[in-house]
Amino acid sequence: MTKKINVGIIGGAGYTGGETLRLLFNHPHVEIAFVQSRSQAGKPVTSTHADLVGETDLTYSTDFNKPVDVLFLCLSHGESKKLVAENKFSDNTRIIDLGNDFRLGDSVAGREFIYGLPEFQRNKIKTAKNIANPGCFATTIQLGLLPLAEAGLLKEVHTTGITGSTGAGQKLQETTHFSWRANNISAYKTLTHQHLGEINQTLKSLQPGFSEDVNFIPWRGDFTRGIFVTSVLESKLSLEEANKLFKEFYASHPFTHVSNEMIDLKQVVNTNKCLLHLEKVGKKLVIHSITDNLLKGASGQAIQNMDLMCGFEETEGLKLKGSGC
Amino acid sequence: MTKKINVGIIGGAGYTGGETLRLLFNHPHVEIAFVQSRSQAGKPVTSTHADLVGETDLTYSTDFNKPVDVLFLCLSHGESKKLVAENKFSDNTRIIDLGNDFRLGDSVAGREFIYGLPEFQRNKIKTAKNIANPGCFATTIQLGLLPLAEAGLLKEVHTTGITGSTGAGQKLQETTHFSWRANNISAYKTLTHQHLGEINQTLKSLQPGFSEDVNFIPWRGDFTRGIFVTSVLESKLSLEEANKLFKEFYASHPFTHVSNEMIDLKQVVNTNKCLLHLEKVGKKLVIHSITDNLLKGASGQAIQNMDLMCGFEETEGLKLKGSGC
Amino acid sequence: MTKKINVGIIGGAGYTGGETLRLLFNHPHVEIAFVQSRSQAGKPVTSTHADLVGETDLTYSTDFNKPVDVLFLCLSHGESKKLVAENKFSDNTRIIDLGNDFRLGDSVAGREFIYGLPEFQRNKIKTAKNIANPGCFATTIQLGLLPLAEAGLLKEVHTTGITGSTGAGQKLQETTHFSWRANNISAYKTLTHQHLGEINQTLKSLQPGFSEDVNFIPWRGDFTRGIFVTSVLESKLSLEEANKLFKEFYASHPFTHVSNEMIDLKQVVNTNKCLLHLEKVGKKLVIHSITDNLLKGASGQAIQNMDLMCGFEETEGLKLKGSGC
Amino acid sequence: MTKKINVGIIGGAGYTGGETLRLLFNHPHVEIAFVQSRSQAGKPVTSTHADLVGETDLTYSTDFNKPVDVLFLCLSHGESKKLVAENKFSDNTRIIDLGNDFRLGDSVAGREFIYGLPEFQRNKIKTAKNIANPGCFATTIQLGLLPLAEAGLLKEVHTTGITGSTGAGQKLQETTHFSWRANNISAYKTLTHQHLGEINQTLKSLQPGFSEDVNFIPWRGDFTRGIFVTSVLESKLSLEEANKLFKEFYASHPFTHVSNEMIDLKQVVNTNKCLLHLEKVGKKLVIHSITDNLLKGASGQAIQNMDLMCGFEETEGLKLKGSGC
């Protein structure tokens, strides 16, 4: 029996905090040391994650100074950097930040954060002390482009993506009011989404001369979980060559698969998978990619990174029963 | 050509205000004098009712002291009574309150409010100066029971009803957060819903000795518009007798119909109709009834009451194209 | 009082047939002579369009040989051409085909069909004897590009569009099974959608030298009504110039409006409107456009064409109360 | 390491077949010997359960004559009885039927089927050779009434329940057409639902004199997974007494919990749990109960029964990450 590690969550009351918690409860090698929440301190975790009723009596803690092996930061943008700067954590504590504070290579308090996209740099993650967990759109878009970038074949890309409402967080907002969002579609942050920074950083690292745009149109969807992305670019690859390139690239990666059949979003909802499907029409290569924004796009990938850092099986705690229908 | 009346709306920025406005824009006998909103004063009405873009340049007014023939109050509970008490309106101004402040017969500032359920008391409405517009659940439940009460055949009733999210208003709340409400069902105010007061008032007025309970279980549905209600009670009527009773009762009412086929909610969405369907199983008579909570359950019925009070055709401005699908 | 025209519908039992019927019931200048349906002949129209219960006793007819002023064909692809070829209709009967049989300029039985996009060629429609009503995606995409094409400023376009389930018709299919489609997104006909033919025909007619691709990615959405489209292209126009170009182009068109604010799909659901919103980021001009696929994308536009052909007000019968929420 | 058992599924292509398969893939003590499907024989299981892409290469088999320890029948009503009558299965093969063929105590081919509701008769299940797995509504309703029946306190019950679309199966039907069911509510089988047989059988077994009606109103909901039920009956128990009765009854049952807070459907979606919440208003005791119709209402309970019969931990393979949001 593997020794269990101690794990803490800071900011456990939000969506990514809750999803991280759900995954950790079923992880065979993890003991939860604490789940902190400033707003919910003292209350049972079931007060915000009501689906856990009957499974746990855990309450939110105020502080987080118990020593842990792995610490998950599930905070709003900007808060992680502040927290790491203002608090002293043990050198033995690995930090996995689910926000976007450290994704562009920033260091704080002597801690260097490694960009935690296993399909991009699994080996660096295995030896990392701190992880900047990728964004949900960033994950889904990159997984559709990595093999092309590594092969130096990227050109200007036109990408449209649609996201579930949980991507917008738990805060009450007009764009997440049910009466507005039900049966509705809308666009936002056209060509300026904040995930473009990390996307370009990865792509340029793989294909150094790449200077073209990833033109990304984000849409809000009327569902709670999942991201569907379609990317279009010119390519001289035949469909067969493109499929071969992608399948070889992902052959050793347990969560990312190239489907020969057209894909639909619910194939990945409630799983840590990313599915890809390629088409070639005329000169255009088209890549569809899908993830669950809270899993492969957030908490699932965070656990995957923990598994890699801690020497566990990469899929440990992540063999989830998908929703299917 | 009929002379047009002047109409004002107080509290135009909410759901019932918006729906009243949409109906009035297309009403052939109405001029809109003002649409007031405290929170949105000075802004275009399209800032809150964005579907009106391209149809109107109207802006929200701060005050409401232009003389009008009909004034609609689309306010939160408690605010209408305060407003009528604290302001002087012309004696020639008819007031239609869409809130629940006057439904139990309260008078304020010498104004008596008539309960505005046309199928119950159309003639009183025609000569009324002020109307208390019924609640959405109250309308839907009562229309399923009126003929029985008039015939003195009501007994203890078990009713379950499910409502769309617009019934909860525009305010951001946890129970209208999309990520919570999508694909969800929940119960609230079990057997204690505030509409029971007006329901019992009507039923006892029609069947004086009636002292049994209307046991009403309200549920929240994961859709935006509509109410589906099923009521069960013991009855000696055969199905044929019950259908005859109901059809005769509603024969002269243009919006309430007894369907011989099973009904489903979308038959009435975006219309001012109430559809009923009756079943008899053993000793139990079952009545299904459906409305659009914002139309027959609120703004549509308010316009219907205006039409009756002003001597217009009862259906004027209310021949709406239903959503159908 | 304008004299009423007689109107017939062939294929009245499907979604576009039903929607055409709902609109015609409320049209002040129309008498419905017959609604034909091969599969439903003899049954009440409420057996397929249950929302019409209480509004009509009309039944589906088998034949369609009553003389009418306007005949709507609401048939599956290929059936209209066959029907016009095999039957003799009066020379006084105007035909409006809602299918895609005549959109590329085909003539049958001496009847020439004019492409019925009023914003493109309203004057030709006014004098037309037969109309090929545009497709839903085709309408929404073209309205986002017409002003650019007329100005000769079109370049290669990247377009993504998402459609409601009613676009797929009433036939039971796996992709319209509720358990599959709810909360799901999927892609189909990537870069090969059949509406590209009519889109290119119009664009090339306005900008003769245009030979670049409209790269269109269609997605299936998890809602019933509406189309949301975003088109991206390079442009030297500033945002101000682009807005001016579009607003002037549509100034005289009552249903198509340029919004200064970001748009969302529900602004047009249950209306005949098309709303547009423009953005400029770097060198890229972005046009968002939205319609209700059953109205401006089908039956509403058909009535608009009828109004134009018959000399009625262009908006007659089309001042619809939108769903709003 | 526990020895693994061999398991077969007959009728694997439907919803309960697929969900059983998803659960078995992650069950630590199970090897899947075959998944049979008449309609899909020879095709990969991912052709119908596309969410399993990347997880399995299994194909549907035509026959099912490999010896297995446990056989799941996921067939349409009537087919299980036929199959067991016409085929010879090993005496060592335990059969779990997910249909309703054996729920009322029928024996076929010498096989006696035990009603598989663990909260009702766990010990009988442990030694059973064949299990009739309860219906989804039946499970949810019974779990709300069992403690009262055991205490002899049942009276006439009024129950309303709403079910997700997966309860209606994978076959294409008008009532599962997305364009119809989205945003819709409807009623069916009023007071005559087929699950009333098994419900009454259990209740009368626990409270022998019980002869009153369970008046059950089933509704169709516009979501895919889950059942929400509210039952109302007269009771002399105080709320405290009722909660005590229920909590003691379920104390040893790992999946059924009494919540002190109001419950909502998504608390149990994608889990094998049943949550209950009790209220007392006047003389009326109200019990809300919720399950996922495909899990505790079907395949999850089938695995739970398998675990009990095979001597595994009752929760083995059923510690599922709920959807939460």
What's the pLDDT score for residue D1? Answer: 53
Decide if D176 and C173 are in contact by the 8 Å CB cutoff.
Answer: no
Distance CA A32, CA A6 (A): 6
Nearest residue to D233 via CA among D145, D294, D305: D145
Q: Which runs of E-coded beta strand occur in chain C?
A: 5-10, 30-36, 70-73, 94-97, 107-108, 111-112, 114-115, 130-132, 157-163, 186-187, 214-220, 227-234, 256-258, 274-281, 284-291
Residue C194 structure tokens = 């059949």
pLDDT lower than 50: segments of chain C: none
Q: Which runs of E-coded beta strand occur in B180-310?
A: 186-187, 214-220, 227-234, 256-258, 274-281, 284-291
* Chain centroid offset of residue C100 CA: 11
Residues of B within 8 A of C183 (CB-CB) are 182-183
Question: Rounded to 5 degrees, what are φ and ψ at C8?
Answer: -125, 155
Query: Between A144 and B65, where is the model more confident?
Result: A144
Task: Locate all alpha helices (DSSP H) within chain C, ordered by sequence.
Answer: 15-25, 79-86, 118-126, 136-143, 146-150, 178-181, 196-206, 239-250, 300-310
DSSP B264-282: BGGGTTTSS-EEEEEEEET
**Half-sphere exposure of residue B237: CA atoms within 13 angstroms, side-chain side:** 24
What's the pLDDT score for residue A43? Answer: 98
Residue B176, SS3 per DSSP: helix
Decide if C226 and A160 are in contact by the 8 Å CB cutoff.
Answer: no
Report which secondary-structure segment, H or E, holds D245: helix D239-250
Put simply, the chain B residues between 78 and 117 with a CB less than 8 A from any chain C CB are none
CA-based angle C179:C182:C183, to the nearest 5? 130
D18 — pLDDT class (breaks 50, 70, 90): very high
Put simply, the chain B residues between 19 and 78 with a CB less than 8 A from any chain C CB are 19, 22-23, 26, 49-54
Decide if C215 and A186 are in contact by the 8 Å CB cutoff.
Answer: no
D61: distance to nearest CA of chain C, Å? 23
Residues of D within 8 A of A319 (CB-CB) are 26
Nearest residue to B228 via CA among B168, B274, B178: B274
pLDDT at D2 over 80: no
What's the pLDDT score for residue D3? Answer: 81
Rg (CA), chain C: 19
Decide if C182 and D15 are in contact by the 8 Å CB cutoff.
Answer: no
Beta-bridge mates of residue A177: B177
Q: Nearest residue of B to residue C300 by CA position? A: B321
C86: distance to nearest CA of chain A, Å? 38
Distance CA B36, CA B12 (A): 6
Nearest residue to A23 via CA among A61, A65, A70: A70
Residues of B within 8 A of D225 (CB-CB) are 183
Q: Of A261, A269, A321, which is closest to D320 when you measure between CB atoms? A: A321
A3 — pLDDT class (breaks 50, 70, 90): confident
Q: Of D264, D281, D282, which is closest to B184 when you measure between CB atoms? A: D264
Substitution target from D177, D178, D222 for chain C, most C beta carbons within 10 A: D178
pLDDT at A49 over 90: yes
Tell me if chain D has a CB within 8 Å of the CB of B224.
Answer: yes
**What is the average pLDDT across D180-186?**
98
Quick: pLDDT tens for A75-122.
998 999 999 999 999 999 999 999 999 999 989 999 999 999 999 999
What's the pLDDT score for residue A241? Answer: 98
What's the pLDDT score for residue B2? Answer: 62
What's the pLDDT score for residue A65? Answer: 81
Residue C198 structure tokens = 């009519």
Decide if B166 and C26 are in contact by the 8 Å CB cutoff.
Answer: no
Q: Nearest residue of D to residue B267 by CA position? A: D184
Q: Of D179, D223, D281, which is closest to B191 when you measure between CB atoms? A: D281
Angle between helices B118-126 and B136-143 (to 10 degrees): 110
B310 included as an active-site residue = no
Tell me if chain C has a CB within 8 Å of the CB of A213.
Answer: yes
User: Which domains can be identified in chain B, with CATH numbers?
Assistant: 5-133+298-310 (3.40.50.720), 137-291 (3.30.360.10)
How many CB pairs below 8 A link A and B?
56
Residues of D within 8 A of B266 (CB-CB) are 180, 183-184
Decide if D182 and C165 are in contact by the 8 Å CB cutoff.
Answer: yes
Q: Which of A136, A274, A310, A325 is catalytic?
A: A136
Please give the span between the terminal C-alpha atoms of chain A, in angstroms, as a whole number.
36
Note the residue count of chain D.
325
Q: Nearest residue of A to residue B49 by CA position? A: A180
Substitution target from D25, D52, D53 for chain A, most A beta carbons within 10 A: D53
Decide if C228 and A180 are in contact by the 8 Å CB cutoff.
Answer: no
Asked if B312 and B125 count as a contact pair (C-beta separation under 8 A), the reply is no
Q: Residue C101: is it exposed, middle or buried by C-beta count within 10 angstroms (0-12/13-18/19+)?
A: buried
Tell me if chain D has a CB within 8 Å of the CB of B282.
Answer: yes
Q: Of B22, B261, B269, which is closest to C324 when you measure between CB atoms? A: B22
Query: Count of CB atoms within 10 A of residue A42's CB?
Result: 10
Residues of A within 8 A of C225 (CB-CB) are 183
Tell me if chain A has a CB within 8 Å of the CB of B178.
Answer: yes
Give one word for B169, left, alpha or beta, with left for phi > 0 and alpha for psi -120 to 50: left
D145: distance to nearest CA of chain A, Å? 19
Residues of D within 8 A of C187 (CB-CB) are none
Q: Of C160, C183, C286, which is closest to A266 when you measure between CB atoms? A: C183
What's the pLDDT score for residue B21? Answer: 98
Distance CA B55, CA C114 (A): 29
Q: Of D257, D275, D321, which is closest to A26 when you measure between CB atoms? A: D321
Q: Which runs of E-coded beta strand occur in chain A?
A: 5-10, 30-36, 70-73, 94-97, 107-108, 111-112, 114-115, 130-132, 157-163, 186-187, 214-220, 227-234, 256-258, 274-281, 284-291
Please state, in angstroms and as integers, the Cα–Cα distance from residue D104 to each residue in D94, D196, D199, D239, following that order.
19, 11, 10, 33
List active site positions of D.
136
Tell me if chain C has a CB within 8 Å of the CB of D170.
Answer: yes
Q: Which of B74, B136, B310, B325 is catalytic?
A: B136
Can you give the pLDDT of all 325 residues of chain B as single tens digits? 568 999 999 999 999 999 999 999 999 999 999 999 999 999 999 999 999 999 999 999 999 989 999 999 999 989 999 999 999 999 999 999 999 999 999 899 999 999 999 999 999 999 999 999 999 999 999 999 999 999 999 999 999 999 999 999 999 999 999 999 999 999 999 999 999 999 999 999 999 999 999 999 999 999 999 999 999 999 999 999 999 999 999 999 999 999 999 999 999 999 999 999 999 999 999 999 999 999 999 999 999 999 999 999 999 999 999 999 9
Q: Of B187, B230, B266, which is closest to D187 when you measure between CB atoms? A: B230
Decide if B178 and A224 are in contact by the 8 Å CB cutoff.
Answer: yes
Q: Of C174, C179, C224, which is closest to D179 when you measure between CB atoms? A: C224
Residues of C within 8 A of B20 (CB-CB) are none
Tell me if chain A has a CB within 8 Å of the CB of D12.
Answer: no
Decide if C322 and B267 are in contact by the 8 Å CB cutoff.
Answer: no
What's the pLDDT score for residue C106? Answer: 84
B21: distance to nearest CA of chain A, Å? 18
Residues of D within 8 A of B188 (CB-CB) are 262
Decide if A228 and C185 are in contact by the 8 Å CB cutoff.
Answer: yes
pLDDT at D65 over 90: no
Asked if B234 and D148 count as a contact pair (C-beta separation under 8 A), the reply is no
Decide if A324 and D19 are in contact by the 8 Å CB cutoff.
Answer: yes
Tell me if chain D has a CB within 8 Å of the CB of B265.
Answer: yes
Report which secondary-structure segment, H or E, holds B247: helix B239-250
Residues of A within 8 A of B177 (CB-CB) are 170, 172, 176-178
Beta-bridge mates of residue D288: D230, D277
What's the pLDDT score for residue C65? Answer: 81
Q: Residue D270: is it exposed, middle or buried by C-beta count within 10 angstroms (0-12/13-18/19+)?
A: buried
Distance CA D324, CA B32 (A): 46
Residues of C within 8 A of D165 (CB-CB) are 178-179, 182
What's the pLDDT score for residue A2? Answer: 62
Q: Of A54, A166, A271, which is closest to D257 when you measure between CB atoms? A: A54
Residues of A within 8 A of D271 (CB-CB) are 51
Average pLDDT over chain D reads 97
Report the neighbours of D using a cutoff of 3 or more CB pairs below 8 angstroms. A, B, C
